[in-house]
Structure 1
Amino acid sequence: MVAFETLYREGTEIAVHADIEDENQTVTIHPQPEPEKPQTGDNSNIGFWIGLGAVALGGLVSVVIIKIKKKDEDDE
């Protein structure tokens, strides 16, 4: 890419530098590496937590059922 320069004073062109062969007017653009994308969301294993909750709930229901049965047996 080559940059050209034009200087104006009060609307009148007073200087021009537009030599396409001039190395000092050549601009080289280097491609930038793509920035690393941030991680969004959650990494936790939702299946593990659902399974753990189901086991805990099952244990709680079992304890309640056992207590109800034991209470019924004690009442008799």
Structure 2
Amino acid sequence: MEAKDFCTCGDYKCPNNPINHQEGCTLCVLKCLKANEIPTCFFKKLSEERPENEDYTFKGFAKFVEKYSK
């Protein structure tokens, strides 16, 4: 199975989305690591809701987990 077959990110315009290249999840993960962020798919594993204020930081993810993992 290829990353593009299971990627839950709906931002198809993003150059890092696996549908736009052959590198799988690598480019997305690298971008997120450089920005100190968590990839969208981790949020979507818990809920389809978007993070408050589009906060994809580690702290934002911790808040999201607290809210949606109950």
Same fold (TM over 0.5): no
Q: Which has the higher helix share?
A: 2
Q: Which has the higher strand share?
A: 1
Rg larger for: 1
TM-score (norm 1): 0.19
TM-score (norm 2): 0.20
